[in-house]
């Protein structure tokens, strides 16, 4: 997208709006036939099966651009939904580089972001205060724990975490407490707690993530004029990552598209049906554990009577060795819509496979390999290390750290989740909404001001007795406690007055000073980082304001031939300015009241937790779980710890669906690599404080031999089953490629003995055994032979253990 390109479109856009469309081949010229077909689909429901690396985002954005350019829809008539803020941002950036359109005026965002926007605009119908706050996962948990204290709920019998999961699950299924089917006493009690939680949230004027979705769904469902308004408005609905949608999200889409049970079309000339373009890949569905339903894809085809299905199967990312591996692996899954990736590139490099003797040796080997890669000119940020679970990163981090190689770990605490930031936000939220008890409790004694648990318990008693918020309860609390807390609240009130009318960043600055947070962290020897983060919060507030202005920037407007910004009239751009804009002050549709910038900033903080640890622009090795690698690509990828029990994970191995999801996870991991892919596993691994002996993953058996190249030193080249590696895999690393002539032998184990004899220990899976320390247990899995024989045994009292049979003294129990 160079200068003349956008200059052309600035003019083209204008003619597009007024007369019929200019040649659209500029938009379409770099697309392959499948992609072009997808972009230019008629205005009807359609499903696009987009394989990994098939240019999905590009198709989606070009589709929107094409619809706009050909005058089939106005910017206000587009609803585009993504799962992450990152994806939404990317879509907006790409779109504005294709067309001179004010993307911030369009409904492009995450499900939750769009629901937030919707609820802000219709807060009265939603029965929410205008300045309702959003609970993130942490807030939600502490809210539940508070509830437990208040009502004396047994947290042993109903662990708060499990309750949180239960509530989230109900909301994802669209179920209010009275709708949950109660079959046993346990569920009855859980539903009761769910109801109490709902009451508490409503009283405090807060909503959790699930509530954002559910509440906006209900507002649409129960208010005919509102629903019809949006149905009429959104002519084109585009959903990214459709395989990850849950039941409620699907119902929400259906509602907006006008095909739900509540659609009304009594006037024959009025067609309320927006057309839905769902883009997804069933093979990359890896979020079933949090409620995603791949089945939504099939349901969509059936319920929307989808006539157009397009498969994007050309992969522009990797060579055929990598793709063949991915294709072969995923072919072992049974429930598939069916899709096979192909590439116009050649075979590329073989997939390198390495067997390490320990997790430590595996990390060492990677370090050596990376050094070599960097020496050959590979950028570090183009190298990713993927693992199944976060616990695996430690040993890799240690190795990289000791080797002095810069690296970046994804997945830690994110900016707005850090304790000091949450503390500051609690004050800001109290300014907006004093009823927010979660924030009240967080701020009231931090920094410490002598308000102890005793006082707060008294306060909570008063609040419960009179059914009011904690801050309202202070007036009913006498004594020293009352005076202390009263002083705190008075301080908040003063702050609220002082900051009214201030610029957002000034408010934040003032709050940091007045709350004593800055002083507190400055006094702390270890507080330097936290002070820095708080200062960063001021910066975030500053740039948030300028981001709001972005939409009104001259740069985003069409420019005439002399380079003068042309005024964008709502009519010519099809922009409906009466509609709220994401993260901007939202006018109430009835009264025209607008939300304060602070409120918008707080929503932003809750909905977009920020980058993990943006070590700005440093060229570093990328470490992350397979899950967080989805949607990314790298020149070189290491997939580590590919062992039974780890990958596939033991908790997923019991049922078929779980195993298939693990396989899809592996598929996602493999397809991240552009040029080079390494797969590794280790004979031993430290996990949960004990050494485990994991056999290599079954996934190795599901990869095409011809695409692989075993680079483990030769003398290790024996499989656990005793067979030697054949063909291309037996050559080992030595001499095969000069550039990889690294001596791995220092990491190699003693040669593994070839054992073909039947196991002599006489144990079988399912047997009951007795262990002196762990008591009675059941044998789950048996591994290896002779001195290496080990068994996975489930001890009801001590959990699942791996025991070496040559060491552990086990007696069979009849």
Which string of b and e fits 465-490 if b means at least 16 CB within 10 Å?
eeebbbbebbeebeeebbebbeebbe
Report the half-sphere exposure of 263 (CA within 13 A, side-chain side): 21
Report the half-sphere exposure of 264 (CA within 13 A, side-chain side): 13
Catalytic residue list contains 232: no
Judged by beta carbon, residue 164 or residue 315, the one nearer DNA is: 164
Q: How far is the CB of 516 from DNA (least distance, A)?
A: 12
Q: Which span (104-112, 345-353, 461-469, 566-574) binds DNA, by CB under 7 A?
A: 104-112
| Using rule CB under 7 A, residue 97 touches DNA | no
Binders of DNA in range 394-413 (CB under 7 A): 394, 411
User: Using CB under 7 A, which of 658, 675, 736, 771 touches DNA?
Assistant: 658
**In which residue are the tokens 């219709």 written?**
122
Judged by beta carbon, residue 229 or residue 627, the one nearer DNA is: 627
CA pair distance 282, 296, nearest whole angstrom? 10
User: Using CB under 7 A, which of 72, 84, 187, 263 touches DNA?
Assistant: 84
Judged by beta carbon, residue 627 or residue 719, the one nearer DNA is: 627
Active-site choice (34, 36, 56, 317) = 56
Q: How far is the CB of 629 from DNA (least distance, A)?
A: 9
Q: Which span (19-27, 80-88, 528-536, 705-713) binds DNA, by CB under 7 A?
A: 80-88
Q: How far is the CB of 789 from DNA (least distance, A)?
A: 23
Catalytic residue list contains 140: no
Q: Of 417, 446, 431, give the one whose Cα is nearest residue 516.
A: 446
Confirm or deny that 486 is annotated as ligand binding.
Answer: no
Quick check: bond before 470 cis, omega within 30? no
Residue 413, class by beta-carbon neighbours within 10 Å (0-12 exposed, 13-18 middle, 19+ buried)? middle
Q: How far is the CB of 29 from DNA (least distance, A)?
A: 32
Q: How far is the CB of 281 from DNA (least distance, A)?
A: 17
Tally the residues of the chain.
814
Q: What sign does the dihedral 797-798-803-809 (CA atoms) show?
A: negative
Judged by beta carbon, residue 138 or residue 539, the one nearer DNA is: 138
Judged by beta carbon, residue 499 or residue 652, the one nearer DNA is: 652
Residue 795, class by beta-carbon neighbours within 10 Å (0-12 exposed, 13-18 middle, 19+ buried)? middle
Q: Which span (81-89, 175-183, 305-313, 538-546) binds DNA, by CB under 7 A?
A: 81-89
Judged by beta carbon, residue 559 or residue 686, the one nearer DNA is: 686
Binding mask 608-627 for DNA (x = CB under 7 A): xx--------------xx-x
Active-site choice (34, 211, 240, 509) = 240
Catalytic residue list contains 622: no
User: Using CB under 7 A, which of 45, 94, 104, 112 touches DNA?
Assistant: 112
3-state secondary structure 735-779: CCCHHHCCCCHHHCCCCCCCCCCCCCCCCCCCCEEEECCCEEEEE
* Phi and psi torsions of 485, nearest 5°: -70, -35
Give the distance from CA 657 to its chain's centroid. 21
Q: Which span (181-189, 333-341, 358-366, 605-613) binds DNA, by CB under 7 A?
A: 605-613
Q: What sign does the dihedral 386-392-394-398 (CA atoms) show?
A: negative
Confirm or deny that 50 is annotated as ligand binding.
Answer: yes
CA pair distance 128, 206, nearest whole angstrom? 8
Confirm or deny that 766 is annotated as ligand binding.
Answer: no
Contact of 761 with 789, CB cutoff 8 Å: yes
Active-site choice (672, 674, 692, 790) = 672
Number of residues that bind DNA (CB under 7 A): 42
Q: Which span (451-459, 501-509, 696-704, 763-771) binds DNA, by CB under 7 A?
A: 451-459
Q: How far is the CB of 289 from DNA (least distance, A)?
A: 4
CA pair distance 714, 705, nearest whole angstrom? 17
Catalytic residue list contains 542: no
Judged by beta carbon, residue 195 or residue 612, the one nearer DNA is: 612
Confirm or deny that 131 is annotated as ligand binding.
Answer: no
Active-site choice (40, 57, 734, 755) = 57
Catalytic residue list contains 240: yes
Q: How far is the CB of 757 from DNA (least distance, A)?
A: 33
Q: How far is the CB of 701 from DNA (least distance, A)?
A: 20
Judged by beta carbon, residue 355 or residue 660, the one nearer DNA is: 660
Q: What sign does the dihedral 194-195-200-206 (CA atoms) show?
A: positive
Judged by beta carbon, residue 23 or residue 452, the one nearer DNA is: 452
Confirm or deny that 145 is annotated as ligand binding.
Answer: no
Binders of DNA in range 334-393 (CB under 7 A): 388-391
CA pair distance 444, 464, nearest whole angstrom? 18
CA pair distance 732, 473, nearest whole angstrom? 74
Q: How far is the CB of 95 from DNA (least distance, A)?
A: 18
Contact of 492 with 426, CB cutoff 8 Å: no
| Using rule CB under 7 A, residue 751 touches DNA | no
Q: Which span (46-54, 443-451, 492-500, 741-749) binds DNA, by CB under 7 A?
A: 443-451
Q: How far is the CB of 135 from DNA (least distance, A)?
A: 10
Largest CA distance in the chain: 92
| Using rule CB under 7 A, residue 628 touches DNA | yes
Catalytic residue list contains 241: yes
Confirm or deny that 97 is annotated as ligand binding.
Answer: no
Q: How far is the CB of 86 from DNA (least distance, A)?
A: 6
User: Using CB under 7 A, which of 450, 478, 775, 812 touches DNA?
Assistant: 450
Q: How far is CA 690 from CA 357, 448, 652, 693, 805, in A?
A: 16, 41, 21, 10, 15
| Using rule CB under 7 A, residue 689 touches DNA | yes
| Using rule CB under 7 A, residue 108 touches DNA | no
Contact of 233 with 220, CB cutoff 8 Å: no
| Using rule CB under 7 A, residue 651 touches DNA | yes
Active-site choice (82, 200, 273, 284) = 284
Binders of DNA in range 310-339 (CB under 7 A): none
What SS3 state is found at 608?
coil
What is the phi-psi region of residue 99: left when phi exceeds 0, alpha when psi lies from -120 to 50, beta otherwise?
beta
Q: Where are the alpha helices (DSSP H) in 295-382?
A: 295-303, 320-330, 359-375
**In which residue are the tokens 């003797």 written?**
357
| Using rule CB under 7 A, residue 607 touches DNA | yes
CA angle 770, 775, 778 (to 5 degrees): 60
Confirm or deny that 53 is annotated as ligand binding.
Answer: yes
Judged by beta carbon, residue 245 or residue 357, the one nearer DNA is: 245
Binders of DNA in range 769-788 (CB under 7 A): none
CA angle 728, 358, 405 (to 5 degrees): 90
Contact of 98 with 29, CB cutoff 8 Å: no
Quick check: bond before 668 cis, omega within 30? no
Confirm or deny that 55 is annotated as ligand binding.
Answer: yes
Judged by beta carbon, residue 26 or residue 141, the one nearer DNA is: 141
Judged by beta carbon, residue 103 or residue 752, the one nearer DNA is: 103
DSSP string for residues in 248-311: HHHHHHHHHHT-STT----STT-----EEEEEE-GGG---GGGT--THHHHHHHHHTT--EEEE
Binders of DNA in range 453-472 (CB under 7 A): 453
Residue 429, class by beta-carbon neighbours within 10 Å (0-12 exposed, 13-18 middle, 19+ buried)? buried
What SS3 state is found at 246?
coil
Binders of DNA in range 174-233 (CB under 7 A): 209
Q: Which residues are annotated as a binding site for ATP?
A: 50-57
Q: Which of the residues are catalytic?
A: 56-57, 240-241, 284, 672
Q: Which residues are annotated as a binding site?
A: 50-57
Interface ranges with DNA (CB under 7 A): 83-86, 110-113, 136-137, 145, 209, 287, 289-290, 388-391, 394, 411, 445, 448, 450-453, 607-609, 624-625, 627-628, 649, 651-652, 658, 662, 686, 688-689
């Amino acid at each position: 997208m160079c200068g003349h390109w956008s200059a052309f479109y600035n003019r083209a856009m204008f003619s597009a709006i007024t007369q019929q469309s200019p040649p659209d081949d500029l938009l379409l010229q770099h697309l392959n036939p499948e992609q072009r077909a997808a972009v230019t689909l008629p205005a009807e429901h359609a499903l696009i099966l987009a394989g990994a690396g098939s240019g999905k985002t590009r198709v989606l954005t070009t589709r929107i651009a094409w619809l706009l350019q050909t005058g089939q829809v106005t910017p206000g008539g587009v609803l585009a939904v993504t799962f992450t803020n990152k994806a939404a941002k990317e879509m907006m950036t790409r779109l504005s580089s294709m067309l001179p359109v004010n993307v911030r005026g369009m409904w492009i965002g995450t499900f939750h972001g769009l629901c937030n926007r919707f609820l802000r605009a219709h807060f009265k119908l939603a029965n929410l205060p205008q300045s309702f706050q959003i609970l993130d996962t942490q807030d939600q948990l502490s809210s539940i724990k508070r509830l437990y204290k208040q009502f004396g709920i047994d947290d042993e019998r109903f662990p708060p975490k499990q309750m949180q999961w239960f509530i989230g699950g109900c909301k994802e299924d669209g179920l209010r407490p009275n709708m949950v089917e109660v079959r046993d006493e346990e569920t009855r009690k859980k539903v009761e707690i769910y109801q109490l939680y709902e009451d508490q949230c409503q009283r405090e004027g807060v909503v959790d993530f699930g509530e954002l979705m559910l509440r906006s769904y209900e507002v649409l469902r129960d208010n005919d004029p509102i629903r019809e308004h949006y149905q009429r408005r959104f002519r084109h609905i585009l959903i990214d990552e459709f395989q990850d949608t849950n039941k409620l999200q699907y119902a929400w889409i259906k509602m907006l598209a006008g095909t739900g049970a509540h659609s009304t079309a009594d006037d024959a000339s009025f067609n309320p049906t927006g057309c839905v373009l769902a883009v997804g890949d069933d093979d990359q569905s890896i979020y079933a554990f949090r409620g995603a339903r791949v089945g939504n894809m099939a349901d969509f085809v059936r319920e929307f009577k989808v006539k157009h299905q397009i498969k994007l199967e050309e992969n522009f990312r990797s060579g055929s060795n990598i793709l063949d591996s991915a294709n072969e692996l995923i072919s072992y899954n049974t429930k598939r819509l069916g899709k096979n990736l192909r590439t116009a590139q050649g075979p590329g490099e073989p997939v390198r496979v390495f067997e390490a003797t320990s997790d430590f040796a595996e990390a060492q080997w990677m370090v050596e390999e990376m050094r070599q890669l960097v020496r050959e000119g590979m950028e570090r940020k183009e190298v990713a290390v993927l693992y199944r679970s976060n616990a695996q990163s430690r040993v890799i981090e240690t190795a990289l750290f000791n080797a002095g190689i810069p690296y970046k770990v994804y997945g830690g605490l994110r900016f707005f989740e850090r304790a000091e930031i949450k503390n500051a936000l609690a004050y800001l939220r109290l300014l907006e909404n004093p009823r927010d008890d979660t924030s009240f409790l967080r701020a009231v004694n931090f920094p410490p001001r002598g308000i102890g648990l005793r006082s707060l318990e008294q306060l909570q008693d008063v609040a419960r007795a009179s059914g009011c918020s904690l801050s309202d309860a202070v007036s009913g609390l006498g004594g020293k406690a009352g005076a202390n807390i009263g002083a705190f609240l008075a301080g908040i009130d003063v702050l609220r007055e002082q900051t009214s009318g201030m610029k957002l960043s000034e408010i934040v600055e003032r709050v940091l000073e007045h709350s004593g947070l800055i002083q507190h962290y400055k006094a702390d020897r270890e507080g330097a980082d936290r002070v820095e983060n708080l200062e960063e919060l001021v910066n975030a507030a500053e740039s948030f304001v300028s981001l709001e202005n972005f939409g009104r920037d001259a740069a985003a407007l069409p420019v005439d031939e002399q380079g003068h910004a042309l005024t964008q009239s709502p009519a010519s751009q099809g922009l409906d300015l009466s509609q709220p804009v994401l993260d901007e002050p939202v006018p109430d549709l009835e009264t025209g009241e607008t939300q304060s910038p602070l409120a918008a900033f707080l929503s932003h903080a809750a909905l977009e937790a920020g980058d993990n640890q943006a070590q700005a622009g440093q060229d570093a090795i990328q470490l992350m779980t397979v899950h967080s690698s989805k949607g990314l690509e790298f020149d070189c990828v290491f997939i580590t710890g590919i062992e039974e029990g780890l990958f596939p994970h033991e908790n997923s191995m019991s049922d078929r669906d779980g195993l298939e999801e693990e396989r899809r996870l592996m598929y996602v991991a493999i397809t991240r690599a552009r040029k080079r892919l390494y797969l590794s596993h280790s004979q031993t691994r430290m996990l949960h404080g004990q050494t485990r002996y994991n056999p290599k993953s079954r996934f190795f058996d599901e990869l095409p031999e011809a695409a692989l190249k075993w680079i483990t030193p030769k003398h290790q080249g024996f499989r656990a089953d005793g067979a030697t590696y054949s063909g291309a895999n037996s050559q080992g690393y030595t001499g095969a490629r000069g550039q990889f002539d690294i001596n791995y032998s220092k990491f190699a184990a003693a040669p593994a003995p070839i054992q073909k004899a039947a196991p002599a220990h006489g144990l079988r899976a399912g047997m009951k055994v007795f262990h002196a320390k762990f008591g009675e247990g059941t044998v789950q899995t048996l591994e290896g032979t002779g001195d290496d024989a080990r068994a996975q045994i489930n001890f009801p009292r001590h959990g699942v253990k791996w025991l070496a049979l040559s060491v552990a003294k086990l007696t069979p129990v009849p």
